[in-house]
A and B are shown apart, each in its own frame.
Chain A
């Protein structure tokens, strides 16, 4: 019996990307809900070892496309390989990790396959009428329950952190080689990799971080944050919009496209708490949020929260620290 769910894993630096382990768990759960099994797809060059590792992660088969053209990621060859695979193997669902690489090409796979797209899923559960899927909307301020209608294939991506990563089990799945198109043409000519920020500040070792978000409104009031950081002896970090607007340099950015930090104390000021920010700071010891919106998602992941205007609260905290020093 062939599996109706295929999990399309992703590699990074020749190894399984951690988000792939989460996608595998999501794909297995989906297969169970649908009464089928889940296969994993591994694409790359010289990936025998990775494929063997994936075979122990609770899937029923591993489909391996191992060829030189898949060594460096380029969307065209990855898309064409998968399209050849699904035409041959007939799954209904492709499950991807919601990563910078996988999202880059999964829509091309969906287009070629004629599939519906359901991106950034955080959970799904059966109800009276089938499966209801949950995904964030409005930058994580709300979430939507959505349903798939009609017949036909579906491409799903699962958000990082939403599913517990798969652990190796005793049983191992069969490994099959996946034939692809005879010729794969890379439409991108890769030139290199660069540091986005000029790695001058390493926040990963910081003990305390005062992190500032769009709520600061502009660069002119940044001294409030500097004073608080000085009173604590903390480093300054920021959410992405602060960087994008040029209010602080890029090497201060925390989150999925910035640095990952784990300080003892993380003070989030005027930051709403979007998932791309949270993945960069969720390892923090104690998190404090200062935000004027009591519904801001950042409060859900914080230890202490103050609802208020940062322009009043931050100077007050600085003063309280100075007075109690």
Chain B
């Protein structure tokens, strides 16, 4: 089994967000970066499959230099190799442009399975991995909550999330792109041994030219969707804010729930 995993590095949004000076993104200097939540679950799923079936897990990430940190983490968690799509030409891609590059890189590896997240926590398009599947000519499934592989028949039983607490179950032939939803598993933590081993594992840098992609079809140049500006959402009517220290605010809240809202 050779399994490709797509990992996107995203800002940790626990921090207070500030809009960047040019107004088109957030101030990245303030932030730390992490592996996208559902992508970390995809990696965990891949590692479990490799542990059961043997084989190789190769992680792919498109992004700037800082992405290496996340790739190193993935290697420490147990991935065998990493491919870093690292080229100024890749920057600012919409899902179509990003998927074109990822698709080309993964196509070079002849994988049995491609595991990805369902949605990035920053841009949240929810479509990049399905577009990758298009490039690879593989079947795909979005919002995967269960994967059971049958190597003999080269089929995978997939549990896919539907609305309102239901899951649908189906079988697919591999190779396929399975877009994992957060919650499918509980990702492991890196061990000291894993961190030491990761230092010796390969992170291969790949540029547009290495993938035979013209710079005009990737990144911002290859994108038809462009961010003009970002802003905090309208506050709408908004809540009546209750001020004061915790005890005073709590007493005031209980009073309002009793006499104003009359819900107690």
A interface residues with partner B (beta carbon < 8 Å): 12, 74-76, 99-101, 103-108, 110-112, 116-120, 132, 136-150, 152, 154, 187-197, 199, 208, 232, 240-241, 243-246, 250-251, 253, 256-260, 264-265, 285-289, 293, 295, 297, 299-309, 312-313, 315-317, 319-321, 324
Contact = CB atoms under 8 A, between A and B. Distances in A.
Interface residues of B, number: 83
9 contacts: A100-B142, A142-B230, A147-B226, A240-B183, A244-B182, A285-B263, A299-B235, A299-B239, A307-B241
Given A142-B231, A302-B239, A119 B127 contact: yes
A316 B123 contact: no
Nearest to A312: B246
Nearest to B125: A119
B241 A308 contact: no
B225 interface: yes
Return the 5 tightest CB-CB contacts between A and B, nearest first: A111-B134, A244-B183, A107-B130, A305-B239, A316-B250
A295 B231 CA distance: 12
B131 A320 contact: no
Residue among B160, B168, B182 with most chain A CB within 10 A = B168
B246 A193 contact: no
Interface stretch (B57-65, B197-205, B254-262): B254-262
Contacts of A141: 13, 17, 232
B165 A258 contact: yes
Nearest to A187: B139
Interface of B: 11, 13, 16-17, 19, 26, 94-96, 99, 121-128, 130-131, 133-135, 139-143, 145, 157-173, 182-183, 186, 223-242, 246-247, 249-251, 253-258, 261, 263-264
A304 B258 CA distance: 13
Contact of B257 (A136, A190, A196, A286): A286
Identify whether the interface residues of B are mostly helix, strand, loop, or mixed. mixed
Contact of B224 (A150, A241, A251): A150
A138 B236 contact: no
Mostly helix, strand, loop or mixed at chain A's interface?
Answer: mixed
A85 B236 CA distance: 40
A299 B238 contact: yes
Nearest to A318: B250
B94 A138 contact: no
B230 to A, nearest CB: 5
B140 A108 contact: yes
Contacts of B250: 306, 313, 316-317, 319-320
Nearest to B129: A107
B106 to A, nearest CB: 15
B168 A193 contact: yes
A310 to B, nearest CB: 10
B162 to A, nearest CB: 5
A321 B183 contact: no
B45 to A, nearest CB: 14
A302 B133 CA distance: 40
A134 to B, nearest CB: 9
Contacts of B11: 138
A228 B186 CA distance: 28
Nearest to A150: B224
Given A196-B145, A300-B238, A108 B133 contact: yes
B134 A138 contact: no
Given A145-B228, A193-B166, A138 B26 contact: yes
Nearest to B13: A138
A256 B163 CA distance: 6
Residue among A106, A139, A197, A258 facing the most chain B CB atoms (10 A cut-off): A139
Contacts of A304: 239-242, 253, 256-257, 261
A191 B171 CA distance: 7
Contacts of B233: 136, 140, 142-143, 297, 300
A111 B133 CA distance: 9
Contacts of A110: 96, 127, 131
A306 B242 contact: yes
A265 B168 CA distance: 33
A257 B232 CA distance: 25
A265 B163 contact: no
A244 B134 CA distance: 29
